[in-house]
């Protein structure tokens, strides 16, 4: 058994061993906290990412040098400083220098650890989004009800413009396996308006719209056109409040990952899959018949590789 003195020494060593990594990680954590609050554009996230990965050097660069290193314009750096709450780049640099000074005393390799931690932090943020969604699913009635409504709408229109198009394509691809008439709209302007009006004219009653950041003005206009035409709108987005949510009949708001240059969509993807599940359960006989028909066609035409 160790003596009390030895036990205290061991406890001190263990405490020291645990404290050092936390001290090293603190600068990156401070920067993430600084940049996480506002909604940054992809260009602004590039600046934030560069600062996190090169804080000890970047904090002492002039606005011209920082813009050159990141590959953006000087006005972009100025707008970034304002976006994260500073009066201008000098005020931001002063804060960055205070953070950088604590980093300079860290052990070698901290910059590389921060870089990998940034990727881990992005995953952690998505896990938090999914945890929030899980809590929302504690009462699944709203998802089930909307899934039934989407299932009954023939045709069913799925709208996703600009970056939201990828989520709309995923939903439409899967929905076509279980629904007889799914119409995908991924082009804005008059093309979208024409498709929406045709859908309503053919008897459609619902539109499922996706709107991910940065929210497109043309998405808002398309939703307004759909409403004026008599279509009801279910919206999957990241904001429960705002012009788009005001126009929609029902809004499902779930967080998106915003720690990397471009957003990630774990939450919206799971929510989409949940709505698809509700659609399959709304009409089990139709679902089973269509899935069996699809599998027969897939086998006949050899759509997929055999495992």
Give residue limits of the domains in the chain. 4-130, 139-301
Rounded Cα–Cα distance for residues 18 and 28 (Å): 17
Residue 145: per-residue pLDDT: 95
Residue 7: per-residue pLDDT: 42
- Looking at domain 139-301, what is its CATH homologous superfamily? Glucose-6-phosphate isomerase like protein; domain 1 (3.40.50.10490)
- Give the torsion through C-alpha atoms of 253, 258, 259, 262, to 10 deg: 150
Q: Is the pTM of this model over 0.75?
A: no
Residue 9: per-residue pLDDT: 42
Rounded Cα–Cα distance for residues 167 and 179 (Å): 18
Distances (CA, A) of 26 to 29, 115, 238, 261: 5, 13, 29, 22
Collapsed DSSP state (helix, strand, coil) of residue 37: coil
Determine how many CB atoms are found less than 10 A away from the CB of residue 20. 12
Topology at the third CATH level for domain 4-130? Arc Repressor Mutant, subunit A (1.10.10)
How is 199-263 classified by DSSP, letter by letter?
A: HHHTT--EEEEEEPSSPPHHHHHHHHHHHHHT-EEEEEES-SSSHHHHHSSEEEE---B-SSSS-
Residue 103: per-residue pLDDT: 61
Residue 8: per-residue pLDDT: 42
Residue 106: per-residue pLDDT: 54
Residue 179: per-residue pLDDT: 95
Rounded Cα–Cα distance for residues 285 and 282 (Å): 9
Which helix or strand (DSSP H or E) is residue 157 part of? strand 156-160
Residue 34: per-residue pLDDT: 83
Residue 129 near residue 254 (C-beta atoms within 8 A): yes
Residue 181 near residue 150 (C-beta atoms within 8 A): no
Per-position pLDDT tens, the chain of length 307: 444 444 444 444 433 443 334 444 456 677 877 887 667 888 888 888 888 888 888 888 888 889 888 888 888 899 899 888 898 888 898 888 888 877 665 545 555 555 557 788 888 889 988 998 998 998 899 999 999 999 999 999 999 999 999 999 999 999 999 999 999 999 999 999 999 999 999 999 999 999 998 899 999 999 999 999 999 999 999 888 889 999 999 999 998 888 788 889 999 999 999 999 999 999 988 988 888 888 888 888 888 887 6
């Amino acid at each position: 058994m160790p003596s009390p003195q030895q036990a205290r020494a061991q406890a001190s060593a263990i405490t020291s061993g645990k404290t050092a990594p936390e001290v090293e990680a603190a600068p990156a954590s401070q920067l993430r906290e600084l940049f996480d609050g506002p909604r940054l554009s992809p260009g602004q996230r590039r600046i934030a990412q560069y600062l996190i990965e090169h804080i000890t050097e970047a904090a002492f660069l002039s606005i011209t040098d920082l813009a050159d290193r990141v590959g953006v314009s000087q006005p972009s750096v100025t707008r970034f400083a304002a976006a994260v709450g500073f009066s201008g780049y000098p005020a931001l640099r002063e804060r960055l220098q205070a953070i950088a000074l604590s980093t300079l005393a860290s052990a070698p390799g901290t910059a590389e650890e921060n870089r990998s931690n940034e990727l881990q932090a992005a995953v952690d943020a998505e896990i938090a989004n999914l945890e929030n969604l899980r809590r929302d699913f504690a009462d699944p009635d709203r998802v089930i009800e909307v899934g039934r409504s989407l299932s009954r709408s023939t045709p069913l229109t799925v709208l996703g413009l600009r970056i939201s198009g990828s989520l709309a394509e995923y939903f439409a691809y899967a929905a076509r396996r279980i629904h007889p008439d799914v119409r995908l709209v991924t082009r804005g302007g008059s093309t979208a308006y024409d498709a929406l009006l045709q859908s309503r004219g053919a008897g459609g009653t619902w539109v499922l719209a996706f709107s991910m950041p940065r929210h497109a003005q043309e998405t808002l206009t398309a939703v307004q056109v759909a409403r004026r035409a008599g279509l009801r709108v279910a919206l999957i987005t990241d904001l429960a409040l705002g012009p788009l949510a005001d126009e929609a009949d029902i809004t499902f708001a779930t967080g998106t990952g915003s720690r990397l240059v471009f957003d990630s969509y774990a939450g919206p993807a799971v929510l989409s899959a949940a709505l698809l599940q509700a659609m399959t359960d709304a009409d089990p006989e139709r679902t089973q018949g269509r899935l069996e028909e699809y599998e027969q066609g897939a086998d006949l035409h050899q759509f997929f590789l055999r495992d």
